[in-house]
């Protein structure tokens, strides 16, 4: 069975997210921000709300959740205060993730973040700084797997190439790196220059050679408003962008990607998400 869902708002609570996904969208996973995506203060969830969420997820045979770090979190800013804030936010977020993990210790749980923008320091320095924060924040005994997201390369973003992500992974201490993985965003790698439309096999082969497919834990399934290599990062609804439905169907059906949660981050309303989730499910049922 495919694991498919979308990003959801946590504003009505944690159980409400699981309920909305199961009952309204008919999916079986979701992503969410633990705090305002711009980074504000964290409101720690009530234990009863988390327990209720896990009950709903179990009753509906959900796949793993994929939480998303705030967009503004920049672990490799040239400014030290911004890096400190990133470290603090990640540590706080991971503490909450561990509360959720403790309620379902047998299943994987993911926390996805953007490796950051080096803001002029150069990619190599950026890679070192992001790895340093991971070394400080990761705990060898944690249950949460932290995912580096593949990026479009907008501005000074690091993580546009598989090699840059590999560079970060290589600098994290072994015991801690066991809790790291990668989340592949189809819009981002397309905007970053990878041709998933005409050479999906080749792209996945490159991923395997540089990072290793066993590290690929989740997929963000998005079309792109821009042509390949644009380095822009503007998501589009499935089939309405430059990647197109056919290529996205091949991504969902690719043997090397089975078993991963697929998360939609497309510009949709409720009806649009219902439709896209049903469509993606139909691709696997065939
Ligand atoms: Fe993201
Ligand atoms: Fe994404
Ligand atoms: Zn994006």
pLDDT tens profile 269-281: 999 999 999 999 9
Which residues are close to ligand 3, an ion, with C-beta < 5 A? 233
Those residues whose beta carbon sits under 5 angstroms from the ion ligand 1 are 149
Cα-to-centroid distance, 47 and ligand 2 (Å):
28
Q: Give me the torsion for CA of 57, 59, 61, 67, rounded to 10°.
A: 0
Question: Quick one: average pLDDT of 110-123?
Answer: 98
Q: How far is the CA of 261 from the centre of ligand 1 (A)?
A: 14
Q: What is the pLDDT of residues 195-210, one digit of tens each?
A: 999 999 999 999 999 9
- Which ligand neighbours the alpha carbon of 188 most closely? 3
Per-residue pLDDT tens digits for 92-113: 999 999 999 999 999 999 999 9
**Euclidean distance between the first and the last CA atom of the chain, given in angstroms as a whole number:** 12
Work out the mean pLDDT of the chain and round it to a whole number.
Answer: 97
DSSP strands (E only) in 157-253: 180-185, 216-221, 223-224, 235-236
CA-to-CA distance for 50 and 56, rounded, in angstroms? Answer: 10
Rg over CA atoms, the chain: 18
Residue 25 CA, ligand 3 centroid: distance in Å? 22
- Residue 148: nearest ligand to its CA? 1
Q: What mean pLDDT comes out for the span 76-103?
A: 97
**Distance (Å) from CA 26 to ligand 1 centroid:** 23
The structure tokens 């969420």 sit at 53
Average pLDDT over residues 50-61: 98
pLDDT of residue 286 exceeding 70, the answer is no
Give how far Cα 97 sits from Cα of 76, 101, 105, 195, Å. 23, 6, 12, 34
The answer to whether 14 and 50 have CB atoms below 8 angstroms apart is yes
Instruction: Answer whether residue 51 shows pLDDT above 70.
Output: yes
Q: What is the pLDDT of residue 101?
A: 98
pLDDT over threshold 90, residue 182: yes
Sign of CA dihedral 119, 121, 126, 132: negative
pLDDT classification of 40: cutoffs 50, 70, 90:
confident
170: left (phi over 0), alpha (psi -120 to 50) or beta: alpha
Task: Give the closest ligand to the alpha carbon of residue 218.
Answer: 2
Distance from residue 265's CA to the centre of ligand 3 (Å): 8
Distance in Å, CA 128 to ligand 2 centroid:
22
Ligand 2 center–CA 211 separation, angstroms:
18
Question: Nearest ligand, CA of residue 185?
Answer: 2
| Beta pairing class for 235-236 and 223-224 | antiparallel
Residue-wise pLDDT tens digits, 150-178 = 999 999 999 999 999 999 999 999 999 99
User: Which has the closest alpha carbon to 192: 217, 147, 239, 155?
Assistant: 155
Window from 17-31, 36-50, 128-142, 194-208 with minimum mean pLDDT: 36-50
Angle subtended by helix axes 200-210 and 162-170, to nearest 10: 20
Tell me the C-alpha distance between 116 and 46, whole Å. Answer: 30
How much distance in Å is there from the Cα of 113 to the middle of ligand 1? Answer: 6
Residue 32 Cα to ligand 2 midpoint, Å, equals 11
């Amino acid at each position: 069975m495919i694991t498919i869902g979308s990003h959801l708002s946590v504003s009505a609570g944690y159980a409400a997210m699981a309920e909305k996904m199961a009952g309204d969208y008919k999916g079986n996973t979701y992503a969410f921000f633990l705090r305002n995506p711009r980074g504000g203060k964290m409101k720690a969830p009530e234990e009863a709300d988390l327990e209720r969420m896990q009950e709903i997820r179990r009753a509906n045979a959900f796949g793993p959740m994929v939480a998303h770090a705030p967009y503004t979190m920049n672990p490799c800013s040239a400014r030290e205060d911004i890096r400190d804030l990133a470290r603090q936010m990640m540590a706080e977020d991971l503490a909450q993730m561990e509360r959720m993990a403790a309620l379902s210790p047998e299943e994987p749980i993911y926390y996805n973040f953007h490796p950051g923008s080096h803001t002029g320091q150069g990619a190599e320095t950026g890679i070192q700084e992001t790895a340093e924060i991971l070394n400080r924040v990761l705990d060898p005994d944690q249950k949460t797997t932290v995912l580096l997201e593949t990026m479009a390369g907008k501005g000074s973003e690091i993580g546009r190439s598989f090699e840059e992500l590999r560079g970060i992974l290589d600098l994290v201490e072994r015991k801690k790196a066991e809790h790291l993985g990668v989340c592949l965003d189809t819009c981002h790698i397309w905007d970053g220059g990878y041709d998933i439309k005409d050479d999906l096999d080749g792209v996945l082969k490159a991923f395997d050679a540089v990072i290793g497919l066993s590290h690929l834990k989740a997929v963000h399934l998005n079309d792109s408003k821009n042509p390949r290599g644009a380095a822009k990062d503007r998501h589009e609804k499935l089939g309405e962008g430059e990647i197109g439905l056919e290529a996205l169907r091949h991504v969902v059906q690719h043997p090397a990607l089975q078993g991963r949660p697929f998360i939609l981050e497309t510009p949709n309303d409720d009806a649009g998400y219902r439709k896209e989730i049903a469509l993606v499910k139909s691709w696997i049922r065939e």
